[in-house]
Every structure is written in structure tokens, then in C-alpha cells.
């Protein structure tokens, strides 16, 4: 790890100011990706702005149509939240299966979606549930947020403060983990929402995406059998030592079916 | 057996310190005025070093010194075994400098070392070293290295072949094939593995300018061997001026047998800078700089007559040595592989040929089982394949061809003479324990849940107890393979045992104390087992190849017998009886047929306070030392049965049952045998389903972290159904056979045989390891395709 200046602001405004003042500043949420990267000397921020002391960014509250989760809320908090379990059990279940206990007690929802790892779980939930990302500057619709591999719509100096999830009629997440990393080799989040069926796929491509083919198939018939015979196109899907694009395409279909069967 | 003696289920005395964080590992050792080393490693698999500019690094903050290969004029890291090729020529043995001279030959090869006040300063400075590399094409796979125009790994050699070796009677084997009714053929890939001991390697070099003595603290399975190899061959330091200490070591699995460059670098550098030098591997370094395991490409053919009797076996194998010869690398695909091809079978003719190849990859050497898993996997896969091909029950095919209990001692056609065993008996016990013949019902239940269920079997015999020195000497070993023990009884009757073994997770401190208790009656709380320090005990060969129980305990028993014999003489004097009438029972010397007794501790005290003592006949003191060179190898054997469920939609394999029945001879401590077996089975499952080292075509390690290299986790394995069946008669005093590797040897083929059994209804006939979900799914798709075309 290279040397860096460490800041621990107590408000979002202070954090934004520290970030603006830094030459190569980085926000530190749970640090589950950033810290290992720094330890391997693959990242060299001049300043690390630790968001851990900002009380406003933590916690879960029930809103009129769902739940609002502070950006610095840990996966373990989401997994065990009575509010989340009541409103969107699929979201609690997803959080409960991220990484391992250490990761779940350090990693945060804001950190996860800001990083937008192609194999992370949360982006699938945010996109399928049509969540809204709140920042210190604006609100961003999920459909506009995830723009590419490790890329988001966040502008320079913009800090995620919370994510609001509307309650779906039904939802579920089915993940096929990479045997080594246990990240999603393919993860499919299906949701019946006010605006129709939304299906988001993570792990399979450079960026989380909506599977419109599956959405259409489920629109009239939200049941596993609606996906019988569906062939997913493998073009553009990831290829690595763990899975070919064809295998990932196949798994999208399998996991989508399993998610629909499990949806509650 | 007492509550603490041989065979007792004694909890490990080591556990208190290991489980409460009181272990003392190499990285826990810090010397006054210590400096830290960072090793600059090659980012290229193959390159010529045009020049190295260390000037900026040398003037960086905190830097004490920077050394390159040009500075470090020392000997080559030696190889401990010489294999001779078919044509009588010795293997090619290119030099292996601790720091690269003109060329780098694998990603991770050592190029320079920076020594600084802190590790971070050393690492910062290493980034300032400018190495001008001429990057060259690399020969990464075995096949690429054998291509006619392959880049050469060692420029002075004619090609990349290290040796081309054979074993067995070729003509007789050809004749067997000429007479065969059936010939079964099998091609496999023995996947390359990265050992991943939980403790990364570390080394601290220290030099005392007052005495001229060097000390190396290192993560080693055999500190005496390191002292010999490094002192005599690399750094030219006599034994009396070199102390090697291997304190608590967190797992080895073979990877900590070898003499590594970093050990020589820190020891040599400590003398140069006249301060202690510490190096601790990062986990990423372990992936590229610890010797890897396995990595063979074998082809096998089995000749069978009309009655299902095996007539002959021929095996042709390509083995990867990596870029340099690691300490025991040449012996693994030869003498620890070819002689195991008989397995438990009385196959009359066997011929094995092995071509070992240099590649631009990390060196390959022994990994748990070392040659024996590779042989057993090939043999047990082809036997199961033969049973399916011939339509014979595989249990019966095995039984028909097994060495029967009345055939011992049994001379195989490939060097070994099996001493004792009951191969049909262990198989029958496993078949019963696994309910082999009740499988159809379980398969139905799985099918009802949409799962494909399969059952697979493996038998094995392994040669452990390394090794009769004269025998291995004839086969090319450059060392003896005896073991040593010294039993020092202290004046009040407590005992220190000095062993040449090294415990890095095996529990020697418990088991050796149990043996002392068995012989002397001293409670194990009063016995301390000392190991791992060349200044604190006699020479010994260390721990690997399941040798500690068969060889190490034999040395201990010999030493204990010397103590008992002397103590009886003292007791006879004190009790005014004839020595012949004295017996040692439960810690007391008794005169046979009387109620007179004398506690062992009083005899010990008399030996050190010899007021009433046969001083003209006996020296004071009570201590016994012994070296034991085994008469034969020991032959653990057994049968493993695995059941898997495959999700046909995803290709995911779950091991749902694993049964092992192992004949490890006399069980010294059942808790430790179970632990060894469970760990071994888990590693065997790891190779079958999860683990694979992958390089890209440029020689970069793709599986360079646990993100891509899949180690088995608790939820990858079932609760094991393991048991032992001791057939006595092994050729050592306690009749123990060894248990360190059996799980790894038997599990892997059983798992893959089970996977193939599960997939057989879909038409899948073969799969390579690891049988990952992706591979299984691909195999299912490939099997579907030709059927669709019909």
C-alpha cells in the first residue's frame, strides 16, 4: 500500500469538500474492493475519505412505497432488517448471500453499486426493482445508473447517500456462484413491479443488464414454464476460465426460471 | 494401551497453543536490528536480462542494500535426485541461481533483492529498479515445450527434455498386449495444483559476526536437509557455522520440503549487511514462487484376457518440471509414480515411460501424495473404464485381479515388494460401509429431485515410509532416508525427545509422547518433543511422504529400547535383583513374580545422582539415541467410495457421500488418523472438482489468487464416513504404515468415477479434472450433439 492522507468526515458535505480538495481522492465505504486493490499497489489514491462516521448515511427506513437504505448500511444489516424482510424478502436474501460474514459486516450497499463490479449482486436488485439512487446532488433512476464495467452515472464529486427500493409484488434472486470467488457467475433478479416485470442479470456481461427477452416472456405469464424453450443469445457475454459465453447464456435461463419459481 | 499410550484417542497437546494464538511461526520471529527484504520478481515468463539499474533503488529512503544475480556469486540450488534416461544418460540438470543471472524463466523468478529498514521501504525501492528485459517467446505447456521450434528454457541444453525414463519389461508387456482379448485405453490430464499452505513461506537470516555463525529461521518441513543443501551446495558454510530453525509451520503438503532461493538470499544477505534480514511471502508471491504439484499428460492402455484378468499395463506420461529442477522434482513422476502402477493388482507385465519437460512455469515438485495420486488416478480410472467397457461389475473385476492375502510378500513387476495387506478385505469393508449395492434406490431418490446420482470407487496402495537408503540410492537419491531420535530422560524422570522429523500440523508432539508413555510409563504431560532446530537435536530427514509414523517412530522405539535396557540395569542394581528378572510395567520396574517395585523416576534420579550405582559397569545419565533405516517401504492401502449428485441444468457436482476404509497399519492415535484422512479426502476432492492452476499462453498465471484458484471449502465436502482396518505385519517395529497421504490418493479417482457414473446415462464417457460446473455442462452438451445428429 502506498501512503495516502486519511480523512474521516462527519457529514456528507464535509466528505464532498474533502473529495473536491484532494488531487486523486477516493471515497472509502466498506473497502471490500478498494483496500485489497490498494494493498496490491494497483490503486494509489492521494486521499482516502472514510464515510464510516457519517451517521446520516447509515440505516434502513420504511417509506410510503418500500424501503430506503442508507448508502453506508452493511450487507449484514440489510440481511437482518425486519423492514427489508417485510417489504422485499428477496433483497434481504440477496444481502445474506453476498461474500462471507466478514464481507457482509464491512461491505456496504453504496460501495457495491458505486463500484459496479460486473459480478456484484446488488446491481441486479437495484436494476430489477427499479430503485432510485440518491446522491448529494440528485436522484438517479436505476435504468440510468449502471453505464458500463465498473462505470456508473456518478459524476466527479458525487456521493451516493441512499438507495430507495419500491416494494414489488413478487421478487427473487437466484445466483450461480463462481466456484472460486463465490461472486455471481450468473445472478438473475426477477421482479413483478408496478411498471411490469423487470429482470436484471449480473455476472454474465461486462455490466449488469436487463434481460428484455425474459421480461417479455414473463410479462403475460409470470411462471417458470413461460421460459421453456427460451434461448438466450450468448453474444457479448463474458468469457473466462470459469465459464464460456454459451454456458453463461444457458445459466441465465436456468437461474431466471429458478428465481421465478422462488419469487414471493 | 493405556489412556495415553499407543492407540489412545489423546487430544493433541499442540492444540492449546495453536488454537489460542500462541504458536510461534517464522514470521513471529524478529531479531534485534532486523532489516526486511523485498524480492523483485520477473513479470515475464521468458526474457533475457540486458541490464539492471539499481542506482535509484540504492539511494531510496531506508534502503540498506540492493543485490542482483551479478552480486550473489554463490552455488546453484541443488537437486536431490538424479534420474537416468533410457539411453543411460543422466537427466539434464541446468543451474538454478538464487537470483537470476542472464535470463528469467518463469513469472515470479527472482531478479533482485532490496534490503531496507521496513518492508514498505524495500518494496518502494524495488519499484525503482530498472530492468531492461528482452522479452522472449515462452514455452508454457508441455506440448508447446516439446514442439520442434519451441523456445528453449535453458539455452545450453539441446531441447526442453529433462529426461526420458522407463521402468518395467517392455517386451513382456508388448507380448501381453499381443495376447489380449480386450484393450482399454485412457487419456487424461493430471491437473496442475498450487499447494496453498495456510502459512505463506517466510525466512529470517541472521549472522553473528562475533562467532561467524549464520542462523536461518524458515518455514521448512526438514530443517536438517536445508542446512545440508544450503550450507554445502549454495553458500559454502559448514554445519557448525549454520543453524537452521523451522519453528511452528502452518502446513506444508510438500511445498515446504524444498530448498528455496529466498532461504539462501536472506542468509547470504545477512552476512553481507551484517544485520538480520527477514522475508515473508505475500499470498500473491506464494502462488508464483512455491513449487506446484502434479501436471502430467499420461496415456494408459490395459490388456485384459477373455476371463477379465489383467495381462499388462503400459503407460506413457509427459511430466512438467517447470523452469528449474526443484529439490525432489525428478523423482516424483518416476520412482514415486511408475512403481505404483501395479496398484492392488497382480498385473504380470507393466511398462511405464515418462518424459520430463522443462517449461517457462513455476517449478513443479511433490504435492501431498506426490506421484502416487497421479498413478492411482490413472490406474483406477482405467480399471473402472474397463469394467464398464467389458460389462463386468467393477467390484468383481477388481477382486478378480487383486493381489490376494495369501500372495504376500508380493513382488510387483515394477520394483516394489508389498509386505502385507488384505485388499479384497478393505474393499469389501468399504462396499459394505458405503452400501454400494443399495445405490440404485438412492439414485432413484435423487432422480425424483431432478438430480443425476453416481457412485464411484477407487482402491489404492501407496509406498510410504521413505525409505530404505540403499534402495533409493540405487534409484538416484542423493540422500539417505533414515530417521533419528534421541530420548533424554531428565533427573526427575521427565523426558525430552529430540526427533529429526518435523511437525507442521501432523501432531508429532502428541504421538511421539504417546509412544514414550507406552514404553516408559511417563505421563505425556512430562514428555516434550523437540524438533525443528538443527542446534537442538541430531541430524534427521524431516517429514514428508507419510514417513514420520513408519520411519520416525521406529527410530524412537529403538532409542527407547536403549533407555529401557540401561534403566533395567540400574533398577536391578537398586533392587538387588537379576537384570533378567526386571520388567518395566506402567511406569514401575518390578521383579517378576514378586511385589517389589521401583518407580521409573527413582531410577532416572539414580542415573543422575549415582551414589548407589553400578558405576564401574555403567556410565551415569539416562539417554538413548538411535538412527533407523527402514528395511522396506510401508504399504498403506484402502478403498474409497464416493457418491455425487449432479445438477444436469447447471453441471454443479455435489459430493453427497464419501466412504474411506484405509489400512494404515497400527493406529497410533485415532483422532489424528481421522484428521489426516479428512484433510486428505478434502484435498483429493479439491483436485477432482475445484482446483486448477492455469497459465495463459504468455506464461502469466491466470489463477493468481483465490478469486480464480478454487480451494475446497467446508460446504464443498460431505461429512466423511471414514474408518480403518489394520492388517498387521508392516516392516517396522510398531507395524504402522502411514496415513498422511492416503485420503488424497484414494479420493480423486473415486470422485471422478462417480461423476462419470452419474453422467453415463447422458452418454458422457470422459471428463477432465477439475470437473467444474462448466466442464460438466460442456460434457453434457457434447454428448447430446452426436445423438441429435443420428
Q: What percentage of chain B carries pLDDT values higher than 90?
A: 98
Residue B510 CA to residue B17 CA, distance in Å, equals: 13
* Residue B711 with chain A: CB contacts under 8 Å: 180
pLDDT in tens, B485-515: 999 999 999 999 999 999 999 999 999 999 9
Measured in degrees and rounded to the nearest 5, phi and psi for residue A79 equal -60, -35
Residue B641 CA to residue B24 CA, distance in Å, equals: 39
pLDDT in tens, B453-466: 999 999 999 999 99
pLDDT in tens, B217-269: 999 999 999 999 999 999 999 999 999 999 999 999 999 999 999 999 999 99
Q: What's the confidence (pLDDT) of residue B788? A: 47
Cβ atoms within 10 Å, residue B716: 17
Name the residue among B551, B540, B629 with its Cα closest to residue B222.
Answer: B540
Residues 6 or more apart whose CB falls under 8 angstroms from that of B231 comprise B237, B238, B239, B241, B242
The hierarchical CATH code for the domain A170-262 is: 3.30.390.50
B694: contact with A, CB 8 A cutoff: yes
Residue B381 CA to residue B748 CA, distance in Å, equals: 10
| Whether A250 and B777 lie within 8 Å, measured CB to CB | yes
Interface with B, mutate which of A2, A33, A180 (most B CBs under 10 A) = A180
Residues of chain A with CATH 3.30.465.10: 55-166
3-state secondary structure of B200: coil
CA distance A174 to chain B (A): 12
pLDDT in tens, B734-761: 999 999 999 999 999 999 999 999 999 9
CA distance A183 to chain B (A): 9
CA distance A56 to chain B (A): 34
Nearest to B708 among A1, A241, A250 (CB): A241
- pLDDT of residue A168 exceeding 70, the answer is yes
pLDDT in tens, B644-682: 999 999 999 999 999 999 999 999 999 999 999 999 999
Which residues are registered as beta bridge partners of B355?
B164, B318
- pLDDT of residue B368 exceeding 90, the answer is yes
Q: In what order do the strands lie in the sheet with B213-218?
A: B63-68, B110-116, B35-41, B277-280, B202-208, B213-218, B242-245
| Whether B649 and A254 lie within 8 Å, measured CB to CB | yes
pLDDT in tens, B107-127: 999 999 999 999 999 999 999
* Residue B652 with chain A: CB contacts under 8 Å: 176
Q: What's the confidence (pLDDT) of residue A264? A: 85
Nearest to A251 among B123, B650, B708 (CB): B650
Q: What's the confidence (pLDDT) of residue B785? A: 76
Interface with A, mutate which of B122, B127, B707 (most A CBs under 10 A) = B707
Going by pLDDT thresholds of 50, 70 and 90, the confidence category of residue B789 is: very low
- Report CA-CA distances (Å) from A104 to A32, A184, A223, B92: 10, 15, 32, 52
Residue B600 CA to residue B567 CA, distance in Å, equals: 8
pLDDT in tens, A9-46: 999 999 999 999 999 999 999 999 999 999 999 999 99
Instruction: Kindly state the DSSP code that residue B381 receives in the 8-state scheme.
Output: H
Q: Which long-range contacts (CB under 8 A, 24 or more apart) does B445-449 make?
A: B446/B645
User: Which of A:168-187 have CB within 8 Å of B?
Assistant: 176, 179-181, 183, 185
| Whether B707 and A181 lie within 8 Å, measured CB to CB | yes
CA distance A153 to chain B (A): 27
- pLDDT of residue A222 exceeding 50, the answer is yes
B690: contact with A, CB 8 A cutoff: yes
Residues 6 or more apart whose CB falls under 8 angstroms from that of B715 comprise none
The hierarchical CATH code for the domain A55-166 is: 3.30.465.10
Q: What's the confidence (pLDDT) of residue B787? A: 53
Query: What are the structural domains of chain B?
Result: 15-20+482-628 (3.30.365.10), 31-136+198-251+256-289 (3.90.1170.50), 296-466+632-789 (3.30.365.10)
pLDDT in tens, B389-409: 999 999 999 999 999 999 999
Q: What percentage of chain B carries pLDDT values higher than 70?
A: 99
Nearest chain B residue to A257 by CA: give it: B649
Cβ atoms within 10 Å, residue B596: 15
State the average pLDDT over residues B17-38: 97
pLDDT in tens, B425-446: 999 999 999 999 999 999 999 9
Going by pLDDT thresholds of 50, 70 and 90, the confidence category of residue B786 is: low
- pLDDT of residue B790 exceeding 70, the answer is no
CA distance B652 to chain A (A): 9
The yes or no reply on domain A5-52 and CATH 3.30.43.10 is: yes
The CA-based angle B484-B490-B492, given to 5 degrees, is 150
Q: CB–CB of B303/B176 below 8 Å?
A: yes
- Report CA-CA distances (Å) from A187 to A249, B185, B317: 11, 41, 41
Amino acid at each position: 500500500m502506498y501512503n495516502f492522507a486519511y480523512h474521516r468526515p462527519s457529514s456528507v458535505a464535509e466528505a464532498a469538500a474533502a473529495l473536491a480538495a484532494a488531487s486523486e481522492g477516493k471515497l472509502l465505504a466498506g473497502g471490500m474492493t478498494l483496500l485489497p486493490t490498494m494493498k496490491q499497489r494497483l490503486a494509489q489514491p492521494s486521499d482516502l475519505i472514510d464515510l464510516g462516521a457519517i451517521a446520516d448515511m447509515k440505516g434502513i427506513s420504511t417509506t410510503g412505497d418500500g424501503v430506503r437504505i442508507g448508502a453506508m448500511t452493511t450487507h449484514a444489516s440489510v440481511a437482518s432488517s425486519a423492514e427489508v424482510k417485510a417489504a422485499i424478502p428477496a433483497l434481504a436474501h440477496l444481502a445474506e448471500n453476498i461474500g462471507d460474514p466478514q464481507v457482509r459486516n464491512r461491505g456496504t450497499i453504496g460501495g457495491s453499486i458505486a463500484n459496479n463490479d460486473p459480478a456484484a449482486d446488488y446491481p441486479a436488485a437495484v436494476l430489477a426493482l427499479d430503485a432510485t439512487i440518491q446522491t448529494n446532488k440528485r436522484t438517479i433512476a436505476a435504468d440510468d445508473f449502471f453505464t458500463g464495467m465498473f462505470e456508473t452515472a456518478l459524476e466527479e464529486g458525487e456521493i451516493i447517500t441512499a438507495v430507495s427500493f419500491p416494494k414489488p409484488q413478487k421478487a427473487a434472486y437466484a445466483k450461480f456462484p463462481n466456484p472460486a470467488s463465490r461472486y455471481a457467475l450468473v445472478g438473475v433478479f426477477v421482479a413483478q413491479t408496478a411498471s411490469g416485470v423487470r429482470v436484471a442479470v449480473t455476472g454474465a456481461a461486462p455490466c449488469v443488464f436487463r434481460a428484455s427477452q425474459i421480461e417479455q416472456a414473463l410479462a403475460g405469464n409470470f411462471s417458470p414454464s413461460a421460459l421453456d424453450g427460451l434461448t438466450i443469445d450468448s453474444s457479448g457475454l463474458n468469457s473466462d476460465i470459469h465459464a464460456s459465453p454459451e454456458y453463461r447464456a444457458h445459466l441465465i435461463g436456468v437461474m431466471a426460471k429458478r428465481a421465478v419459481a422462488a419469487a414471493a | 494401551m493405556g489412556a495415553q499410550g499407543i492407540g489412545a484417542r489423546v487430544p493433541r497437546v499442540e492444540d492449546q497453543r495453536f488454537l489460542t494464538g500462541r504458536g510461534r511461526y517464522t514470521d513471529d520471529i524478529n531479531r534485534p536490528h532486523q532489516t526486511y527484504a523485498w524480492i523483485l520478481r520477473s513479470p515475464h515468463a521468458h526474457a533475457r536480462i540486458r541490464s539492471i539499474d539499481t542506482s535509484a533503488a540504492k539511494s531510496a529512503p531506508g534502503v540498506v542494500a540492493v543485490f542482483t544475480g551479478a552480486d550473489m556469486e554463490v552455488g546453484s540450488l541443488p537437486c536431490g535426485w538424479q534420474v537416468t534416461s533410457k539411453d543411460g544418460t543422466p537427466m539434464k540438470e541446468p543451474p538454478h541461481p538464487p537470483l537470476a543471472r542472464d535470463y528469467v524463466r518463469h513469472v515470479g523468478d527472482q531478479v533482485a533483492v532490496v534490503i531496507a529498514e521496513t518492508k514498505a521501504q524495500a518494496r518502494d525501492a524495488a519499484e525503482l529498479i530498472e530492468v531492461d528485459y528482452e522479452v522472449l517467446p515462452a514455452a508454457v505447456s508441455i506440448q508447446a515445450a516439446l514442439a520442434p521450434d519451441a523456445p528453449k528454457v535453458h539455452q545450453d541444453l539441446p531441447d526442453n527434455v529433462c529426461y526420458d525414463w522407463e521402468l518395467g519389461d517392455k517386451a513382456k508387456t508388448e507380448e501381453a498386449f499381443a495376447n489380449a482379448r480386450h484393450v482399454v485405453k485412457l487419456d487424461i490430464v493430471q491437473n496442475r495444483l498450487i499447494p496453498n499452505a495456510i502459512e505463506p513461506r517466510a525466512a529470517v537470516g541472521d549472522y553473528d559476526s562475533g562467532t561467524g555463525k549464520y542462523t536461518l529461521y524458515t518455514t521448512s518441513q526438514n530443517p536438517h536437509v536445508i542446512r545440508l543443501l544450503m550450507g554445502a551446495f549454495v553458500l559454502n558454510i559448514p554445519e557448525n557455522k549454520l543453524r537452521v530453525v523451522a519453528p511452528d509451520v502452518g502446513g506444508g503438503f510438500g511445498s515446504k520440503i524444498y530448498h528455496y532461493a529466498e532461504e539462501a538470499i536472506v542468509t547470504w544477505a545477512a552476512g553481507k549487511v551484517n544485520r538480520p534480514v527477514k522475508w515473508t511471502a505475500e499470498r500473491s508471491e506464494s502462488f508464483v514462487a512455491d513449487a506446484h504439484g502434479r501436471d502430467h499428460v499420461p496415456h494408459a492402455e490395459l490388456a485384459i484376457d477373455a476371463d477379465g484378468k489383467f495381462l499388462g499395463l503400459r503407460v506413457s506420461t509427459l511430466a512438467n518440471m517447470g523452469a528449474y529442477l526443484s529439490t525432489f522434482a525428478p523423482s516424483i513422476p518416476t520412482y514415486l509414480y511408475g512403481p505404483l502402477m501395479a496398484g492392488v493388482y497382480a498385473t504380470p507385465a507393466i511398462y511405464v515411460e515418462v518424459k520430463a519437460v522443462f517449461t517457462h512455469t513455476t517449478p513443479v515438485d511433490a504435492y501431498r501424495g506426490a506421484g502416487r495420486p497421479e498413478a492411482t488416478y490413472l490406474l483406477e480410472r482405467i480399471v473402472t473404464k474397463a469394467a464398464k467397457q467389458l460389462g463386468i461389475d467393477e467390484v468383481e473385476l477388481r477382486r478378480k485381479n487383486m493381489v490376494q492375502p495369501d500372495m504376500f510378500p508380493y513382488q510387483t513387476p515394477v520394483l516394489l515388494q508389498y509386505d502385507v495387506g488384505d485388499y479384497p478385505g478393505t474393499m469389501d469393508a468399504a462396499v459394505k460401509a458405503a452400501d454400494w449395492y443399495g445405490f440404485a434406490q438412492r439414485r432413484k431418490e435423487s432422480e425424483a429431485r431432478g438430480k443425476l446420482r453416481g457412485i464411484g470407487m477407487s482402491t489404492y496402495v501407496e509406498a510410504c515410509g521413505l525409505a530404505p537408503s540403499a534402495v533409493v540410492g540405487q534409484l538416484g537419491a542423493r540422500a539417505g532416508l533414515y530417521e533419528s531420535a534421541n530420548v533424554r530422560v531428565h533427573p526427575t524422570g521427565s523426558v525430552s525427545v529430540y526427533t529429526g522429523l518435523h511437525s507442521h500440523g501432523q501432531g508429532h508432539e502428541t504421538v511421539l509422547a504417546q509412544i514414550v508413555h507406552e514404553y516408559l510409563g511417563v505421563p505425556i504431560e512430562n514428555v516434550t518433543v523437540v524438533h525443528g532446530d538443527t542446534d537442538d537435536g541430531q541430524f534427521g530427514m524431516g517429514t514428508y511422504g507419510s514417513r514420520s509414523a513408519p520411519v520416525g517412530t521406529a527410530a524412537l522405539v529403538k532409542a527407547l529400547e536403549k533407555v529401557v535396557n540401561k534403566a533395567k540395569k540400574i533398577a536391578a542394581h537398586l533392587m538387588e535383583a537379576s537384570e533378567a528378572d526386571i520388567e518395566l510395567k506402567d511406569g514401575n520396574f518390578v521383579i517378576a513374580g514378586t511385589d517389589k517395585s521401583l518407580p521409573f523416576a527413582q531410577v532416572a534420579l539414580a542415573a543422575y545422582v549415582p551414589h548407589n550405582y553400578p558405576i564401574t559397569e555403567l556410565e551415569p545419565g539416562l539417554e538413548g539415541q538411535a538412527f533407523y533405516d527402514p528395511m522396506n517401504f510401508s504399504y498403506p492401502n484402502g478403498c474409497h467410495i464416493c457418491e455425487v449428485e449432479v445438477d444436469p441444468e447447471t453441471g454443479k457436482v455435489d459430493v453427497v457421500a464419501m466412504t474411506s476404509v484405509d489400512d494404515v497399519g497400527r493406529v497410533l492415535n485415532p483422532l489424528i488418523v481421522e484428521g489426516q484422512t479428512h484433510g486428505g479426502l478434502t484435498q483429493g476432492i479439491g483436485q477432482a472438482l475445484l482446483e486448477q492452476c492455469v497459465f495463459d499462453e504468455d506464461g502469466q498465471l491466470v489463477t493468481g489468487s483465490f478469486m480464480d484458484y478454487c480451494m475446497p471449502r467446508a460446504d464443498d465436502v460431505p461429512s466423511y464416513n471414514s474408518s480403518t482396518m489394520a492388517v498387521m505385519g508392516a516392516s517396522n517395529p510398531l507395524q504402522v504404515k502411514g496415513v498422511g497421504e492416503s485420503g488424497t490418493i484414494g479420493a480423486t479417482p473415486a470422485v471422478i468415477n462417480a461423476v462419470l457414473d452419474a453422467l453415463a446415462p447422458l452418454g458422457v464417457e470422459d471428463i477432465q479434472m477439475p470437473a467444474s460446473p462448466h466442464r460438466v455442462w460442456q460434457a453434457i452438451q457434447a454428448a447430446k450433439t452426436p445423438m441429435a445428429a443420428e
